Structure 1
Amino acid sequence: MLQIIELKEKNIVATKASGKLRKEDIEKIHPLIHAILDKGMKVRWYFEMVNFTGWDLPGLWEDLKMDTAHATDYEKIAMVGDKKWQNWITQFMKPFTNADIKYFNLDQKEEAKSWIESL
């Protein structure tokens, strides 16, 4: 499941992932990304993972398509989690985007929010 979280800045998409992400979860993000891009801004994404177990196959495919299509549209991505594999995914993403990507542990989520909002 992917839940939209409110953050104050107008170019930030903030989400909390739990369980398995499905195609429908990823599709919820498309309008938010396009609304930011339509304003001529780059996207900053705060992605918090709590009890997150990954993607089902259609969800993974949709996520890969979205990330590929918007590889140059992201400015910053804060990945927040508590599992070693989640940090590994963060490192794996780096060559595929121009965004500044950082991994934070769950106990650092306030630091991650400050970082995603900072210039």
Structure 2
Amino acid sequence: MLQLLDFTGQNIIATKADDLLGLKDYEKIHPFIHNIINTGNKVRWYFEMDDDSNSGSTGFWEDGVIEINYGSMKFTHSDDIEVIAIVGDKKWEKCMKSIMKPFKNAKVVYFEMAEKEKAKAWIINNEK
């Protein structure tokens, strides 16, 4: 499941994944994307992964693959994403950079969980 974090606002979408992800999670942030691009801005996405969730599930990873069916997802706003800060355990870096490939025009920076505050500052302060 994808949760919106409290610093979502203006041109920032801040999310935390703590369970299996799918099409409904993308649909959850889709209206926020529209609100941002309607103001003439590009989206800045903070994406935190918490695989130490207490949800009782196996986490959001199954055999190292996130549960997203790219075949049924249409990334109609891939050009509207300016930067993406991915925050998570180092073991997911390569996989997550691959998953974010549809957002080819966005600058993607990976931060380890210990660098969470640095990632937030990077997104909030519009640092490229």
TM tier relative to shorter chain: 0.7 to 0.9
**Higher helix share goes to which structure?**
1
Deviation of residue 89 (structure 1)?
2.9
- 1:38-78 CA-to-partner distances (Å, cap 9, x unmatched) read 1110000000000132543xx43378522xx2221111100
Alignment coverage as a number of residue pairs: 114
Structure 2 residue identity aligned to 1:70: H
Matches within 5 A, 1:50-65: 50-51=50-51, 52-53=60-61, 55-56=66-67, 59-61=68-70, 64-65=73-74
1:91 is matched with: 97
Matches within 5 A, 1:37-76: 37-51=37-51, 52-53=60-61, 55-56=66-67, 59-61=68-70, 64-66=73-75, 69-76=76-83
Q: Percent identity?
A: 47
What SS does structure 2 have at the residue aligned with 1:76? Answer: strand
| 1:6 corresponds to 2:6 | yes
Partners of 2:82 and 2:95 in 1: CA distance: 18
Contact 2:86 2:109 in 1 (8 A): yes
What SS does structure 1 have at the residue aligned with 2:69? Answer: helix
Larger Rg: 2
Task: Give TM-score scaled by structure 1 length.
Answer: 0.83
2:25 is matched with: 25
| 1:101 corresponds to 2:108 | yes
Q: Aligned-residue CA RMSD in angstroms?
A: 2.2
What SS does structure 1 have at the residue aligned with 2:105? Answer: coil
Structure 2 unaligned residues grouped into runs of 5+: 52-59
**Higher strand share goes to which structure?**
1
